[in-house]
Amino acid sequence: MKTSAIPGFSKLSLEEKIKIIKDFANLNSDDLNLIKKYQELPDFLELENNIGPFKIATNFLVNDKDYFVPMEIEEPSVVAAASRGAKLVRSGGGFNGKYLDSKMIGQLQILDVEDFEESRKNIVKKKSEILEIANANKKIVELGGGAKDLEVREINTEKGKNLILHLIVDTLDAMGANIVNTMLEEITPFVVELTKGKPCLRIISNFADKRIVSVECKVPIQKLGIKNYTGEEVASGILNACALAKADIYRTATHNKGVMNGIDSVALATGNDWRAIEAGVHSYAARNGYLPVTDWWKEGEYLRGKIEIPMAIATIGGATNSKKARLALKILRVKSAKELGILTASVGLANNLAALSVLGTEGIQKGHMKLHKEFIKLSQNQ
């Protein structure tokens, strides 16, 4: 049975690590040659599970499936933290995640609309025709995706009243920017005819509140102990840190940044647009005042955690088709963008757990600076 829980993985030789990953993900000679190519670069550092194009986080068990997780980041401590957080969660049964919805929104901005209510009625009346025009690309429709619905909003700006049409699109395993933007441009002439207005922006929204992933986990409190701190003391530190993040924006920003350390690293490794993901997550966090994207609470003998965020991530299209990204996806063994999104959110939750467990006890600098000094030492020796 394949497992990512390899004791002492970080202490194995580079050859041993690569052999484990090769067997786990059924890598072929082309995959191994790509790894070797990166190892031959002058700035390659064999540090914290770095096997070539990216570093590897271990111990991830998500929806009862094991993963080695490729991460692309300059800080080796982030990878170590992800592996440690995943190991703690594994002791409680692993991460459990699901998508609450998986659609993207495209915005069409119409200016100078004289009769807003009449325009709204016209759009709603012709909804099926608008969706038919948007779905001219039959391929995505045949696969089960495409434009599914629309909404009409009235937005008052300093320049006047805008009619904003939201086109709601199931983009399947793609992030969706290109297909959504194309659909918006295709429907614009007809919508202009219905509203008698002037078209302006036609662009996807990165506030992907219809593409939400939710992941939960639990950790036996006794497993949280660190050196001279008991599991109860560590749990208390985590809860106090989380409470501060809910009450103080200075802490909230850093709390969420720590979550995004893991999420961005997976996005980069798999060729995804980490900037779009960042924009979506932070917008979602700010929808009711800027709040932490994770929560932790005690339940009996367990510390429970949850993350709920937009996750506009892809397994096809754009830079996900690069050789390096395809290698990352092969190592991950993911079958869909939904699976990748759930895994990526799990990495963010793992990083959050690992960071909070030391922040409230021995402090984050001890482990972080140890790896940082190793990184600097190796860099200077090249």
Domain edges within the chain: 9-99+211-380, 104-204
Q: How many CB atoms lie within 10 A of CB 181?
A: 14
Name the pLDDT band for 378 (thresholds 50, 70, 90).
very low
Q: What per-residue confidence (pLDDT) applies to 102?
A: 84
Average pLDDT over every residue of 176-190:
96
Contact by Cβ (8 Å): 47, 41? no
Instruction: State yes or no: is 368 an active-site residue.
Output: yes
Of 5-9, 63-67, 89-93, the least confident:
5-9
Q: Is 19 a catalytic residue?
A: no
CATH number belonging to the domain at 9-99+211-380, selected among 3.30.465.10, 3.90.770.10, 1.20.1430.10, 3.30.450.20: 3.90.770.10
* Sheet (strand 160-170) strand order: 146-157, 160-170, 104-111, 198-204
Q: What is the CATH number of domain 104-204?
A: 3.30.70.420
pLDDT digits (tens, 9 = 90+) for 98-143: 998 889 999 999 999 999 999 999 999 999 999 999 999 878 999 9
Q: What value does the mean pLDDT take over residues 238-260? A: 97
Spatial contact of 46 and 16, defined as CB atoms under 8 Å apart: no
Residue 295 falls in the annotated catalytic set: no
Q: 185 catalytic, yes or no?
A: no
Rounded Cα–Cα distance for residues 59 and 7 (Å): 9
Quick: pLDDT tens for 198-230: 999 999 999 999 999 999 999 999 999 998 899
Between CA 188 and CA 194, with CA 192 as vertex, the angle to 5 degrees is 120
- Percent of the residues in the chain that have a pLDDT greater than 90, as a whole number: 85
- Is residue 334 within 8 A of residue 245, CB to CB? The reply is no
φ, ψ of residue 33 to 5 degrees: the values are -65, -35
- Point out the catalytic residue in the list 75, 209, 233, 362: 75
In this predicted structure, what is the pLDDT of residue 371?
Answer: 46
- The predicted model gives 88-102 an average pLDDT of 95
Distance CA 346, CA 60 (A): 8
The residue annotated as part of the active site, out of 273, 282, 324, 339, is 273
Mean of pLDDT values over 27-55: 85
Domains 9-99+211-380 and 104-204 are alike in CATH topology: no
Give DSSP secondary structure letters for 213-238.
EEEEEEEEGGGG-BTTB-HHHHHHHH
Backbone dihedral angles phi then psi of residue 261, each to the nearest 5 degrees: -50, -50
Contact 141, 170 (CB under 8 A): no
Around Cβ 48, how many Cβ atoms within 10 Å?
A: 21
